[in-house]
Structure 1
Amino acid sequence: MTETNQEQQTWHLYILRCKDGTLYTGITNDLTRRFEEHQSNSPKCAKYLRGRQPLTMIYHTDFKNKSLALKAELKVKKLTASQKKLLASGQLVINEIADTH
């Protein structure tokens, strides 16, 4: 897939809750595939998540391209766990923290 096609795809920002209660934030252009990779503890699973399954997806939102998703991911990763939980519960809106939609 060319870079131009990747930029035109829908990208997803997601937050996962691990079995130990910690939170993990990431982006992908295929939410189902990426969640399955993380959940399966496969070699494609993020290192942080290895051994922390089962995982629960507590939040996800879409962006029109990878650049916007990356910018939002950086801002979400700077949030505290409490702020991420507010985002997941709908009490904090991504537009309030990221100028990205």
Structure 2
Amino acid sequence: MATVRIPTPLRKYTEGKDEVAVSGQNIRELLDNLDGTYAGIGERIRDDKGAVRRFVNIFVADEDIRFLDGLETPVKDADEISIIPAIAGGLR
């Protein structure tokens, strides 16, 4: 299983865990399994069409999936997956 790093705002869905082990052949399957285990987290990561929300970044071993194969990016058991919400704001 891959290790998924959970950002602080989403830890309420993972019982406070900052890392969870999740299986999946690719990012799509991994996110499906993550939501299957931790109900409600999936809708915070993907929109109603299944695409990763534009303010959420997902990295596989420090590589942004947007520059790989997106949701079809392969996942190996030893991979570390990071879910990172984008930060916006500042002075106007």
TM-score by length of 1: 0.30
TM-score by length of 2: 0.31
* Higher RCO, Cα 8 Å, sep 6+: 2
Identify the structure with the greater helix proportion: 1
